[in-house]
Structure 1
Amino acid sequence: MAPTLLSVCLLFSFMLSSTDGTMEVEIGHCEFNSTDVKDIEYTYSYYFNGLEYLRFSSSLGKFVGYTEFGVKNAERMNNDTSILSSMRAEEIRYCQHNIGLYYSNILPKSAPPSARLHSETPPAGGHPAMLVCSVYDFYPKFIRVSWLRNGDQITSGVTSTEEMADGDWYYQIHSHLEYTPQSGEKITCKVEHVSLSKPLLLDWDPSMPESERNKIAIGASGLILGLVLSLAGFIYFKSKTRRRTLVPTTD
């Protein structure tokens, strides 16, 4: 199995408490792109009424506070070596163990995506073009779809749906790019998934709008059908003429 080309996040811990209408949540997760410890980021976050106020980060090796209360607790916990040691140990105990199970049980059952790049007519007053990169039939759901202009990543004018389950273990996703055609540029949809040994790249051909290509295809089909019918009529006419010529006449 090829190494993972994008980061995957595994949620493994969730604690919830509620008192007098307030709610505190603690969430731990592992972000990784291989089973090597150096490629694993373990975080443990503390939320109060939906606001994250404190987080432990294994890459930093310490707690970070995001509110006044969180900063005070981060300072206290960072000065406690036993707390820091126990949190750092979770990266091995939880992350590395579960990631190993993920690689041995989930990745071998992965399904590579298929993709289609097409254009859509934008709403009135919108951009001259809207490109859509539709990705289908992939598993597991973790995937990255991005856009490139002449090899450089595009960050503006991009919107994507969430990974949507098809109901048959497979997923699909659709990414939209607001696109103003420019001469000589190359637009590419890039798809990265754990089932792929290298990214799937789809280049957009702006030489002719898709609607025009469809019209030409339909017109060509009609022309071919017309030629076939004309040929059949000509053959039928010739055969009838030959029969009348061969029949002897009587006085």
Structure 2
Amino acid sequence: MDPSALGWLLVIITINSADGFREYAVDRCVFNSTELKDIQYINSYYYNKLEYARFDSNVGKFVGYTKYGVMNADRWNKDTSLIAVRMAQKEAYCLNHVTAFYPHILTKSVEPTVRLYSRTPPAGHHPSMLVCRVYDFYPKTIKVRWLRDGQEVTSDVTTTDEMEDGDWYYQVHSTLEYTPRSGERISCRVEHASLKEPLVTDWDPSMPDSERNKLAIGASGLILGLILSLAGFIYYKRKARGRILVPTS
């Protein structure tokens, strides 16, 4: 290619890529099973990141979202062959991808991790509050229940919805407000598709988390103090050993 022509080509590419206008289309498949009836095919058209028209298999036609999109949707909907082609994509495009995803990704499951700890309740609430944090599990559906001596507790229980972690995993928090009784056993019971049987975690009231933390911090401080004291003593002894005593008259 002639160098001057190549130079002009680079100039044209640079001008068109800098703050240029971009139009593109995106195909999506929304589904909750491998059954064709549970699959939705969506074909969206964008101009500068703004969706101006869409074909939705659940609607069976194009829908416009801007003046330009409405004009094109009306024109495309008159073409019955185009509508038939788009409807066929639900099976030809979506079904093939969905059936490939399910056995390799979406049927996999990850067991939840459970942490049971106490929390200081707000003023005026029950004297004790336990939190059952369940996290890093997949798929989303999960059941978290509280048990007192093996019997389910339904009052004074607050459970959040499943929250996305942003990495395909989920987490959920359940709180129990209760008045402790001597000798009782409080447990958090978790049921999930990844578990062969429910996961039951018992609360150990022997020492609250806050007390454990205080004890750990105190022990760490004591050990550090002993180390510094020992280092100071060794330093003093070495200094004393190197001194020269001068007799005085």
TM, length-normalised to structure 2: 0.55
- Structure 1 CA distance for aligned equivalents of residues 178 and 214 of structure 2: 22
- Of Structure 1 and Structure 2, which has the larger fraction of its residues in strand? 1
Question: Quick check: 1:207 aligned with 2:206?
Answer: yes
Corresponding residue for 1:230?
A: 229
Secondary structure in 1 matching 2:242: helix
Deviation at 1:198, TM superposition (A): 2.8
Corresponding residue for 1:182?
A: 181
Identity of aligned residues (%): 65
Alignment-mate amino acid for residue 128 of structure 1: P
- Structure 1 CA distance for aligned equivalents of residues 186 and 198 of structure 2: 15
Secondary structure in 1 matching 2:213: helix
- Structure 2 CA distance for aligned equivalents of residues 102 and 158 of structure 1: 37
Matches within 5 A, 1:39-188: 104-105=103-104, 108-188=107-187
CA contact (8 A) 1:107 1:194 kept: no
* Aligned residues between the structures: 157
Alignment-mate amino acid for residue 242 of structure 1: R
Deviation at 1:127, TM superposition (A): 0.3
Alignment-mate amino acid for residue 207 of structure 2: M
Relative contact order, CA 8 A, sep 6+: which one is greater? 1
Deviation at 1:208, TM superposition (A): 2.4
CA contact (8 A) 1:193 1:199 kept: yes
Deviation at 1:138, TM superposition (A): 0.6
Corresponding residue for 1:59?
A: none
Corresponding residue for 2:96?
A: none
CA contact (8 A) 1:133 1:189 kept: yes
CA contact (8 A) 1:118 1:132 kept: yes
Deviation at 1:214, TM superposition (A): 1.6
Secondary structure in 2 matching 1:109: coil
Alignment-mate amino acid for residue 189 of structure 2: K
- Structure 1 CA distance for aligned equivalents of residues 106 and 181 of structure 2: 40
- Structure 2 CA distance for aligned equivalents of residues 102 and 143 of structure 1: 22
Alignment-mate amino acid for residue 131 of structure 2: V
Alignment-mate amino acid for residue 154 of structure 1: V
Corresponding residue for 1:20?
A: none
Alignment-mate amino acid for residue 163 of structure 1: E
CA contact (8 A) 1:107 1:195 kept: no
Corresponding residue for 2:64?
A: none
- Structure 2 CA distance for aligned equivalents of residues 182 and 207 of structure 1: 13
Alignment-mate amino acid for residue 188 of structure 1: S
Deviation at 1:210, TM superposition (A): 2.2
Gaps of 5+ in 1: 1-8, 15-99
- Structure 2 CA distance for aligned equivalents of residues 204 and 150 of structure 1: 11
- After TM superposition, which residue ranges in structure 1, 4 or more long, deviate above 6 angstroms? 9-12, 100-103, 248-251
Corresponding residue for 2:7?
A: none
Alpha-carbon RMSD: 3.0
Summarize deviations over 1:40-75 as a string: whole Å, max 9, x none: xxxxxxxxxxxxxxxxxxxxxxxxxxxxxxxxxxxx
Corresponding residue for 1:192?
A: 191
Summarize deviations over 1:109-147 as a string: whole Å, max 9, x none: 211111111111111110001100011111110111111
Q: CA separation of 1:105/1:144 partners in 2, compared to 1, >3 Å: closer, same or farther?
A: farther
- Structure 2 CA distance for aligned equivalents of residues 188 and 120 of structure 1: 16
- Structure 2 CA distance for aligned equivalents of residues 114 and 107 of structure 1: 20
CA contact (8 A) 1:181 1:206 kept: no
